């Protein structure tokens, strides 16, 4: 009888261990999915010959191909500021598309900052302030 109880406990422990392993795998999969869909907000400054060439209009045009929200504006010091919000993969792809567009010849430097507070915007617009 004690052998039967011992065998039953061993089987239960084995099933519990297997179940925990599956739960861990599901957790890791869910975590990876969550990380790829994590929302981020970034502020990006572009320096170079970035004003008076249609830079903002071009950035807004590129943004139409991505699921991002935000805005772009000229700064008094000659730079262009962009703020963008979306899933991290989508934001990164959008910024890469801007960097690989015809604008690349005008960009001398790009500086990126992560915004702690999520950007609240609808669509993607050119700001004039």
Residue 10: per-residue pLDDT: 63
pLDDT tens digits, 3-25: 555 566 666 655 666 566 666 66
User: How much is the mean pLDDT over the chain?
Assistant: 85
SS3 sequence of the chain:
CHHHHHHHHHHHHHHHHHHHHHHHHHHHHHHHHHHHCCEEEEEEEEEECCCCCCHHHHHHHHHCCCCCEEEEEECCCCCEEEEEEEEHHHHHHHHHHHHHCHHHHCEEEEEEEECCCCCCCCCEEECCC
Q: Active-site residues: which are they?
A: 56, 74
pLDDT at 26: 65
**For range 71-91, the mean pLDDT:** 97
Mind listing the pLDDT tens digit for each residue in 49-67?
A: 999 999 999 999 999 999 9
The pTM (predicted TM-score) of the whole model is: 0.71
């Amino acid at each position: 009888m004690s052998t039967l109880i011992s065998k039953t406990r061993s089987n239960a422990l084995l099933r519990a261990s297997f179940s925990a392993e599956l739960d861990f795998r599901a957790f890791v999969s869910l975590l990876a999915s969550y990380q790829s869909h994590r929302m981020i907000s970034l502020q990006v400054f572009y320096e170079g010959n970035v004003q008076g060439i249609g830079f903002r209009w071009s950035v807004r045009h590129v943004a139409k191909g991505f699921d991002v929200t935000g805005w772009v504006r000229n700064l008094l010091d000659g730079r262009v500021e962009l703020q963008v919000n979306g899933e991290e993969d989508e934001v990164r792809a959008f910024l890469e598309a801007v960097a690989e567009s015809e604008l690349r010849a005008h960009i001398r430097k790009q500086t990126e900052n992560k915004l702690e507070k999520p950007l609240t915007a609808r669509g993607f617009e050119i700001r004039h302030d």
